Structure 1
Amino acid sequence: MQLNRLLAGVAILAMTVSAASAQTPAGQVPSQQPEEVIIDQGVLRPFQIAVANFDGENGSELGDVIRADLRRSGYFEPLDPASFVETGLTLANAPNFPQWTSIGAQAVLYGSVTRRADNRNDFGFRLYDPYRQCQLASYRFTATPEQWRRIGHKIADLIYQRMTGESGYFDSRVLFVSESGTQLNRLSRLAISDQDGFNPVYLTTGDEIIMSPRFSLNDPNEITYVALGKDYSRIYLFNLSTGRRESLGEFDGQVLAPRFSNDGSKMAFSIIRGGNTDVYVMDLASRQVRRLTNDPAIDTSPSFSPDNSQIVFTSDRSGSARLYVMRADGTGQRPISRGGGIYTAPNWSPRGDLIAFTKQGGGRFSTGVMKPDGTGERILSSSYFEEGPSWAPNGRYIMFARQSPGGDTRLWTVDLSGRVVSQAGYNGRGSDPAWSPLLDEQPSNLGAGGPDSCST
């Protein structure tokens, strides 16, 4: 049943933090330059940041969310609030800079939560550099009181953007297969949660086997997945905002591994038919299906390049599973993986620069990356068993499923340096993760802060 486990693979890549290659995020002042995050001889020295608890409703919990997000990124080391010398910061005043440099804080974040007349809350914050004694950022979000946790993720995103020059990824969600029960009586449900594992929601009841959930990168409310019943396999479209579910139709054979094109107009997937497995693509508007591969081997797990011009997929036509790339119309099929072992589950980075994969060899499974031409292969994580890499929306982190010997399958993350490896926030058993795009909404600017604003 677990075709995903039959087809698995690995690789790596070193992360570089480059202001020159970073795009200016919405709501950000284009001329601002990122603060320096040092990678010295491959060793990342986390940036020490003081995140004060916000004044107002859920202010303490808001601070906890921001600190947890930044810590998990591996770039930041939030200082213990018990070490803070200055307390009672308000948005109307700048910090007492020497009191923050005395504890080694390289940045200071503080803010407040204020109830409005319409019963929504304003979440305002300021970020300062205490060594240069100037303001780095100041913004305000407006949201319902119940959205405080999501606002914490959005604030963490803005800090991450300002300090590294890269887009954030905290205000996003993860789709996955939640597993429960025993090995002989396993229950699988489609589930979704915030990227840190909070607020899990179960979208199916467990009466079907769920496989290959995926987001549309064009619309984070639109997802797809495969459901296996007693006598059927179907690809479903599911809208998270409306709850509407529809099948893509009945196919002659078992369907698997669906994935949207990046503009949301097409769906690539595989069909097992007559002992053969090939890649197909469907135009979602017309529902017309076209066959892209025609080989007696197993061709599966298609993934579009960001510009939708190419598709990477897995094929064992050479004798063992390798990664192949073809044009979106199926022409120009060529192998790209060059190392030994079995390569599976390719996933093109949203940045377009890398392809993630699972690799099996030497009695272990690994998660790795390579360039689209197959060069630069590197392994990021290896273990007894892991599979199914999915990219964070900024293309700098990968989530995958990992299982220890005799243990349960859990969700894990790794960064592109391979040095920040940790279990994801969801505490239950889970597999086949899919990371959403960033969610919408941008903040308003509190103001540049006058003459104390940091210059470029």
Structure 2
Amino acid sequence: MTRSSRMVGAARMAMVTLALLLAASPAFAQLRLDVTRGKVEPMPIAIPPFAGGGADESKAGRDIAQVVSADLERSGLFRPLDPQSFIQNVSAGEGPRFADWRQINAQALVTGSMQGQGDGRYRVEFRLWDVGAEQQLAGFAYTTTRQNWRRIAHIIADEIYKRITGEDGYFDTRIVYIAESGPAERREKRLALMDQDGANHQYLTDGRALVLTPRFSPSAQEITYLSYAGGTPRVYLRNIDSGQQEALGDFPGMTFAPRFSPSAQEITYLSYAGGTPRVYLRNIDSGQQEALGDFPGMTFAPRFSPEGNRIVFSRTQNGASNIYALDLRTRQPLRLTDGNAIDTTPSYSPD
């Protein structure tokens, strides 16, 4: 499985608008979990259903609270309290009665509301409270389509996680994987996508062609994968939201080993066009592509540097394999290893 980067693409963000609600001064924001310690006692947190004006809003408010609670509980750092123990029934616009929440040993409290908009969308508000200090730690409002409520729940869980642990949350992420099914003699492998909690599952391919090695772009909007459609392994680039996809390279032969640039604007891959593997570079937006260098021998395993200005790869010739770095601004290669050894599969450190 490959988990998407938490960098959210513009197409997904277009589904959500965000507003900051009045929050407490950082001087009061003392509620914090130290996740660097070896063992952390889960924090008791109360997450009542988000208040809603109508039946649809009330149901969505209950669903959002349940997803937020499940996200935080799975992290192992939070212990959502049983709603049956709640003394206060929080309604829209009502502030917390902190004594009631201290009585059930809640250290943190999440309150929220759902409001239907005239255009059919929801406005979702939430606030995070430090029960002991009786202070608000965070507050946001989101406007989104009704079918997007689950993603809002994950975003809220991310915000709570970050405010209390100091680290980025991971709940608003997706997983791409290969789903295998069918009898042993006719197994089908399909490209599949789901939220990190297993919800919103969908198949992206129909199983008629073997698919392998899916990978998200840093923007989380494109996926590359290897497909044997037509009998020849080719790398495909697919946009998740539009469903549009295309094979990389407008030439015959195999393509494989794709890697996105850190900016998600370019992709490098190998092609066997002409019978010898060569490194190619493609601009995702324009579709323009080019072979990088006219080296004798075979090139393998291209990888971008962290800033995206260089590509490192291995080149095999006369029984030896050396590591090269190619500057994409000058197109000048630099050999990094020398000798008769076999040096392969290079990769830069993240920093």
- The farther-off stretch of 116-125 and 64-73 is 116-125
Partner secondary structure for residue 69 of structure 1: helix
1:286–1:71 Cα change, 3 Å? same
| Aligned partner (choices 73, 76, 100) of residue 74 of structure 1 | 76
**CA, structure 1 residues 146+79, in 2 after alignment: closer, same or farther (shift >3 Å)?**
same
Q: Spell out, residue by residue over 1:13-56, the C-alpha distance to the aligned partner (whole angstroms, 9 max, x if none).
A: xxxxxxxxxxxx99597974674212465223333321112221
Letter in 1 for 2:270: S
Instruction: Provide the TM-score with structure 2 as the length reference.
Output: 0.74
Structure 1: which 5+ residue stretches go unaligned?
5-24, 336-342, 349-353, 356-371, 373-456
Could you say if the C-alpha distance between residues 41 and 164 of structure 1 is closer, same or farther in structure 2, counting changes exceeding 3 Å? closer
Note the 1:42-57 alignment, pairs <5 A: 42-55=38-51, 56-57=58-59
Structure 2: which 5+ runs fail to align?
Answer: 2-17, 52-57, 338-343
Per the alignment, residue 157 of structure 1 pairs with 158
Q: Distance in 2 between matches of 1:89 and 1:134?
A: 16
Which residue in the other structure is 2:340 paired with?
none
Q: Which amino acid aligns with 2:74?
A: R
What's the offset of the Cα at 1:207?
1.3
Partner amino acid, structure 2, of 1:280: Y
CA contact 2:20–2:139 (8 Å) conserved in 1: no
Q: 1:263 to 1:230 in 2, by over 3 A?
A: same
Does the CA-based 8 Å contact 1:91-1:126 persist in structure 2? no
- CA RMSD between the two structures: 3.8
**Structure 2 partner of 1:231:** 231
Distance 1:270 1:75, change over 3 A: farther
Higher strand share: 1
Q: How many residues align?
A: 315
The structural deviation recorded for 1:128 is 0.7
Q: How do 1:25-174 residues align onto structure 2 when only pairs under 5 Å count?
A: 27=20, 32=26, 35-39=31-35, 41-55=37-51, 56-82=58-84, 84-174=85-175
- 3-state SS of 1:43 partner: coil
Counterpart residue type for residue 87 of structure 2: E
Instruction: Quote the Cα distance in structure 1 between the aligned partners of 2:105 and 2:151.
Output: 29
Cα pair 2:300 2:345 within 8 Å, conserved: no
SS at match of 1:71: helix
- Higher RCO (CA < 8 A, seq sep 6+): 1
Q: Which residues in structure 2 correspond to 1:7-406 (within 5 Å)?
A: 27=20, 32=26, 35-39=31-35, 41-55=37-51, 56-82=58-84, 84-218=85-219, 220-251=220-251, 253-271=253-271, 279-284=279-284, 285=286, 287-291=288-292, 299-300=300-301, 302-311=302-311, 326=325, 329=328, 331-332=333-334
- What displacement does 1:197 show? 1.6
Instruction: Indicate the structure with greater helix content.
Output: 2
* Secondary structure class of the residue paired with 1:148: helix
Q: Max radius of gyration: which structure? A: 2
Identity among equivalent positions (%) equals: 36
The residue identity in structure 2 corresponding to 1:243 is G
Is 2:24–2:137's contact at 8 Å kept on the other side of the alignment? Answer: no
Q: CA separation in 1, counterparts of 2:73 and 2:315?
A: 39
The 1:332/1:298 distance shift into structure 2, 3 A limit, reads: closer
* Alpha-carbon distance change, 68 to 344 in structure 1, aligned in 2, over 3 angstroms: farther
The alpha-carbon distance between structure 1 residues 34 and 258, as it changes in their structure 2 partners (threshold 3 A), is: farther
Partner Cα distance (2:290, 2:259) in 1: 14
Kindly state the Cα deviation for residue 295 of structure 1 after the two structures are TM-superposed.
8.6
CA 1:188 to 1:239, structure 2 compared with 1: closer, same or farther past 3 Å? same
Is contact 1:212-1:258 (8 Å) kept? Answer: no
Partner of 1:16: none
**What SS does the corresponding residue of 2:73 show, helix, strand or coil?**
helix
